[in-house]
Structure 1
Amino acid sequence: MRDVAALAAAVAVVGASFGALAVAAGVPVWLAMAMSLLVFAGGSQFMVVGVIAAGGTPFAAVTAALLLNLRHLPFGLVVGEVLGRNRAAQLLGAHIMIDESVAFAMAQRDPDRARAAYWACGIALFCAWNPAVLIGAYLGEAMGDPALFGLDAAFPAALFALLLPQLREPGPLRVAVGGAVLALVATPFLPAGVPVLVALLGVALALPLPRLEKAR
């Protein structure tokens, strides 16, 4: 619970930055709140707002967000046993299924502790994220450009912090560096949002290379 509380506090800061950035990008407060309540996926929410703010089309924004959330498919397979067979619990559990709640659950070896960790983390972050988005949205209207306060860097910094422990392994490091290079190279030539999709090709760098048998 101590770890969940610390994470919820950090997520609240990120949620406030999203609210401020969304308003700065021209998104109405009610729409930012609807995204937070109905989608509840910070990465895809930032993706949509970022692509729209950069001049991308709604189609590119939604496509990029959907591709980003494809990771929820294997997440669902992983936490299936945690949610159990109750249909209502499955639906509610699927809504609060984010990277952090899955990670907290998978860190527990005991099934009961995994279930408790999943629900505690998911509910705490949902309750922290949404009020913070609303507060950030109203603060964003008052402060003007949130980039002047560094709020635009909050979400990339949070994602990098989550990614950093994985970069100790050569496979994830190759994927991260390769995807970043591909996105940077594609940015001057492709519409906003598309370079992020191109970066997904970096996953190929983690695939095992075929070994050719020496000719005898």
Structure 2
Amino acid sequence: MDGWSRGLRVGAGLAAGSFLLAVGFGAFAVGHGWPAWLAIAMSALVFSGSAQFALVTAFAGGGLGPAVASAALMNLRFVPMAAATARHLPGGPWRRAVQGQAVVDGSWVAAQLPGGGLDRRLMFGATLVQWPAWILGTALGALLVPGGAALHATGLDLVFPGFFGLLLYDALRTDPRLAPLGVAAAAIAASCRFLPPGVALSLAAAVALWKLRP
């Protein structure tokens, strides 16, 4: 089975989680005063759950500046991911930049090869399935707008942490050298119980950097 076929198969599973997460985001955004069309357009253009949730939350609490800063901090993780991927993408800078749009969390983790390297066709196929699922889920959540009680009752509020928890498990299973990420995840899970989310996130980042130091 070639990379594209495996990517589409892997992407189908990831798309199911992305769809449910997107339903929650659509409802969350509209519940915070965003028009449905804007939430849907954001999902089509940004395609980053963590950044989108952060932007909507921060915008409601502090305006445009903190919202953009929060979303940018969330997406800084793509800098090292893209840098590690660039050498596996053929063509010149512009062609690699276009191919780099397929670097999203689930696809990138799934495309890692045990001995190092990256299956770029698998990554492309997995992302190709997830993107429309993310937009469709956002549209459904934004237009139907299930309330917070409905999200809690259906378990949609747990999709986001569960989705990234599975990605972390898969990454640790594939490459034990990434164990510091597990330490960081444990740190943020514990600190969220007692600290504001922003402080907890900073603490987890500090733990990960300390553990990953040469």
Q: TM-score range by the shorter chain?
A: 0.7 to 0.9
Matched residue, 1:44? 51
Q: Which amino acid aligns with 1:175?
A: A
Matched residue, 1:130? 135
Matched residue, 2:3? none
Matched residue, 1:214? none
Q: Is 2:168 aligned against 1:174?
A: no
RMSD: 3.0
For residues 30 and 85 of structure 1, the distance between their equivalents in structure 2, rounded to whole angstroms, comes to 36
Q: Which amino acid aligns with 1:206?
A: K
Matched residue, 1:151? 156
Matched residue, 1:94? 100
Mapped contact 1:61–1:193 kept (Cα < 8 A): no
Matched residue, 1:20? 27
Give the number of equivalent residue pairs. 201
Inter-CA distance 126–13: structure 2 relative to 1 (3 Å threshold) = same
Deviations 1:62-117 (A, max 9, x none): 22221121111111122113331245532332223111222232237798x81211
Q: Secondary structure at the match of 2:186?
A: helix
For residues 31 and 182 of structure 1, the distance between their equivalents in structure 2, rounded to whole angstroms, comes to 33
Q: Secondary structure at the match of 1:83?
A: coil
Query: What TM-score do the two structures reach when normalised by structure 2?
Result: 0.77
Query: What TM-score do the two structures reach when normalised by structure 1?
Result: 0.77
Q: Which runs of 5+ in 1 are unaligned?
A: 210-216
- Per-residue deviation, 1:138: 0.8
Matched residue, 2:38? 31
For residues 79 and 31 of structure 2, the distance between their equivalents in structure 1, rounded to whole angstroms, comes to 32
- Per-residue deviation, 1:16: 1.5
For residues 184 and 201 of structure 1, the distance between their equivalents in structure 2, rounded to whole angstroms, comes to 18
- Per-residue deviation, 1:120: 0.5
Inter-CA distance 28–122: structure 2 relative to 1 (3 Å threshold) = same
Mapped contact 2:10–2:126 kept (Cα < 8 A): no
Mapped contact 1:36–1:133 kept (Cα < 8 A): yes
Percent of aligned pairs with the same amino acid: 31
Q: Which runs of 5+ in 2 are unaligned?
A: 1-7
Q: Secondary structure at the match of 2:34?
A: coil
Inter-CA distance 154–48: structure 2 relative to 1 (3 Å threshold) = same
